[in-house]
Amino acid sequence: MSRLETAMALIIEVFSQYAGADGNARSLSKGEMKVLLEKELPGFLQSGRDKEAVEKLLKDLDANGDATVDFNEFIVFVAAITSACHSFFQQKGLN
């Protein structure tokens, strides 16, 4: 597999690993999203504001209003934070 194919497979695998613990394997509940963020992006949330941050993130990501994050909504999140990281590294001259 190419590096990009591997990266895509890993994104799918991570989503699948966390989705379904609360019953629906096709989407992430608020609790599942929080666990995913804590484990996979530990620097993303700041302690003390975790619950508020997850609530806001879930609301912002939940395009269809079903109170969960499906894979399409999740991939928008991954793309957005990847883009933000890319911009940050470009500004710092680290790419």
pLDDT band at 95; cut points 50, 70, 90 = low
The enclosing H or E element of 17 equals helix 3-18
Helix ranges (H only) for 1-95 are 3-18, 30-40, 50-61, 71-92
> pLDDT averaged over the chain?
86
Alpha-carbon span 40 to 19, nearest angstrom: 13
Residue 1 has pLDDT above 90, yes or no: yes
pTM, whole model, 2 decimals?
0.81
pLDDT digits (tens, 9 = 90+) for 15-47: 999 999 988 999 999 889 889 988 998 877 665
Q: What is the mean pLDDT of residues 76-94?
A: 82
Alpha-carbon span 89 to 95, nearest angstrom: 6
